[in-house]
């Protein structure tokens, strides 16, 4: 029996970014393949449906392709990509809010719940979130649904930690008021 050869480890993000800077188009493709699913998941949960998801992903990775050379911390490429996507999603959420009929935040994409009472709670939360302005909704979803830390949410939103804490607290107060929870 022949000895098994160890498989080489895939290059890390910093190596791929350096290769891209040297003109290796395949390096960007590798970064895309490594991070697109996560970025798509975040964008999907913020948008509430997939009607605009492909557009957000295309815009995100096109912006990344054009500005990858400006990234100062290659080890944070995933957070950087999420930040780009969040800005695109926020733009779309603001546009929705200006429209007469905003779509439901989670819509048919919400998790299937077999207990009608639990389903009613999920629907009520989705309805409450829909009523919150995007500047409060996005940080709340990033923190409570995506599990991002408060400093990470602040960095993604480009505001201070104190501002993010205030925005999330305001979102929670509005949710409580809408749901009439004490």
Is-contact 117 69, C-beta < 8 A?
no
Domains in the chain with CATH codes: 10-103 (1.10.1740.10), 106-182 (1.10.10.10)
**pTM for this one?**
0.61
Q: What percent of the chain has pLDDT over 90?
A: 38
Indicate whether 81 pLDDT > 50.
Answer: yes
123 confidence band (pLDDT: 50, 70, 90): confident
Phi and psi, residue 124, nearest 5°: -65, -40
Q: Which residue has the higher pLDDT, 123 or 152?
A: 152
Indicate whether 85 pLDDT > 90.
Answer: yes
Rounded distance between C-alpha atoms, residue 133 and residue 3, angstroms:
60
Q: Which pLDDT does position 114 carry in this prediction?
A: 56
Is-contact 43 90, C-beta < 8 A?
no
The residues, ordered by sequence, that sit 6+ positions from 28 with a Cβ below 8 Å of its Cβ are 16, 20, 65, 68
181 confidence band (pLDDT: 50, 70, 90): low
Report pLDDT digits (tens) over 163-178: 999 999 999 999 888 8
- Would you tell me how many other CB atoms lie within 10 Å of the CB of residue 33? 9
* Structure token digits, residue 168: 């999330």
Q: Which pLDDT does position 164 carry in this prediction?
A: 94
């Amino acid at each position: 029996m022949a000895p098994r050869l160890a498989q080489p480890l895939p290059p890390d993000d910093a190596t791929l970014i350096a290769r891209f800077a040297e003109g290796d188009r395949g390096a960007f493709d590798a970064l895309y393949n490594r991070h697109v699913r996560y970025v798509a998941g975040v964008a999907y949960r913020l948008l509430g449906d997939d009607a605009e998801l492909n557009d957000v992903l295309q815009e995100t990775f096109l912006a990344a392709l054009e500005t990858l050379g400006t990234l100062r911390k290659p080890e944070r490429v995933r957070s950087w990509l999420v930040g780009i996507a969040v800005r695109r999603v926020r733009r779309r959420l603001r546009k929705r809010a200006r429209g007469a009929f905003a779509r439901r935040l989670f819509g048919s994409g919400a998790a299937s719940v077999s207990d009608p009472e639990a389903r009613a709670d999920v629907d009520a939360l989705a309805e409450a979130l829909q009523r919150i302005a995007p500047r409060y909704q996005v940080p709340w979803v990033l923190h409570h649904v995506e599990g991002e830390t408060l400093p990470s949410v602040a960095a993604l939103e480009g505001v201070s930690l104190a501002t993010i804490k205030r925005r999330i607290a305001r979102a929670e107060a509005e949710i409580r008021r809408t749901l009439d929870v004490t």
